[in-house]
Amino acid sequence: MPDRIDSPKNPRLKAMLRLRNNRDRKKTGLILIDGVREVSRALAAGVELQEAFACLDWCDDDEARDGLSALRAAGHGVTELSPTAAEALAYGERRSGIIASARRPQRSLGELSLGAAPFVAILEAIEKPGNLGAMLRTADAAGVDAVVLMDSACDPFGPNVIRASVGNIFRSFVAEATAEKTMAWLNENQMQVVISTPIADKAYDEINWRVPTAVVLGSEAHGVSSQWQGQSLASERVRLPMHGQADSLNVSTTAAVLFYEAVRQRRAASKQA
């Protein structure tokens, strides 16, 4: 393979571009990782990279240079791109110095590591990549122990989720599962299950978030599905008080409020111990 590509019509670049399409990702089993931080986090998580490209003219800061060094130290060849060729791979107005293709990761519930009093997020049928990515980023920031992507309605390894999550989709705390397997796993781990719904009687800060807990957030259009109704494991239902005209918040905003309420309660408990 050439060490440098100058033409935006290069077939390898065209193959990379096709990975922006979900159909081609399914067909090849490959994903597209666009961004210095995103590629670095995939590499750190042990994702199986296939090809890596870099526009050295755009790798003009320490983070990009460190990313290149990490790729080479891991034994990955990096094909240089001319700025013209790199423009062909650029998404919108974003100029990314490093871009890579990789095997789509697969992580099951059994691979998740839970502590003594875990806090888990169950994200059910989330439709919008930006929302899913934002929730993964918030889960990382809040120290959520595990995130289960249940019956995903969008591709969690699509370029938009990877970008919105800033590569946190690759972390080992994320797993994919069906509803049946998720509910069996929750029963097995004996967690309090908190359903986020605007019709709940209790406010989000009126329950105990310090015990082993899984919070369920549903799709943007329909919320949490009816399959949770009548489930004995769904032990609490909570809402965010709405004081204005809006009857609900964006699901990623709701997730941030709930995640940090759990953080607040757990921090307060640790200070009192």
**190, amino acid identity:** Q
Same domain? For 138 and 216 the reply is yes
Domain count, the chain: 2
Structure tokens, 38: 């995103």
Q: What pLDDT does residue 232 have?
A: 66
3-state secondary structure of 79: strand
Q: What pLDDT does residue 233 have?
A: 67
Same domain? For 114 and 157 the reply is yes
Same domain? For 93 and 123 the reply is no
Lowest mean pLDDT among 55-69, 89-103, 108-122, 211-225: 89-103
> What CATH number has the domain bearing residue 34?
3.30.1330.30
Mean per-residue pLDDT, 122-134: 97
Mean per-residue pLDDT, 251-261: 98
Mean per-residue pLDDT, 25-34: 97
Q: What pLDDT does residue 230 have?
A: 64
Which domain does 244 fall in, by range?
Answer: 109-272
Mean per-residue pLDDT, 248-255: 93
Same domain? For 32 and 123 the reply is no
Same domain? For 260 and 167 the reply is yes
Q: Which of 82, 103, 124 represents a domain boundary (last residue)? A: 103
Same domain? For 259 and 186 the reply is yes
Q: What pLDDT does residue 271 have?
A: 86
> Residues of 248-273 as b/e, b for ≥16 C-beta within 10 angstroms?
eeebbebbbebbebbbebbeeeeeee
8-state DSSP, 104: P
pLDDT digits (tens, 9 = 90+) for 170-225: 999 999 999 999 999 999 999 999 999 999 999 999 999 999 999 999 999 999 99
12 CB-near residues (< 8 Å, 6+ apart): 1, 5, 51, 79
Mean per-residue pLDDT, 244-267: 93
Instruction: From residue 158, give the alpha-carbon distance in Å to each of 166, 167, 191.
Output: 12, 11, 30
Same domain? For 159 and 68 the reply is no
Lowest mean pLDDT among 215-219, 223-227, 250-254, 261-265: 223-227
Residue 1: is its pLDDT beyond 50? no
Mean per-residue pLDDT, 37-62: 95
Residue 2: is its pLDDT beyond 60? no
- pTM of the model as a whole: 0.93
3-state secondary structure of 121: strand
Q: Which of 68, 83, 103 represents a domain boundary (last residue)? A: 103
Q: What pLDDT does residue 249 have?
A: 85
Q: Which of 84, 103, 122 represents a domain boundary (last residue)? A: 103
Residue 272: is its pLDDT beyond 90? no
Alpha-carbon distance of 167 to 38, in angstroms, equals 4
Mean per-residue pLDDT, 41-61: 95
Residue 50 has φ and ψ, to the nearest 5°, of -105, -55
Same domain? For 135 and 254 the reply is yes
Same domain? For 159 and 240 the reply is yes
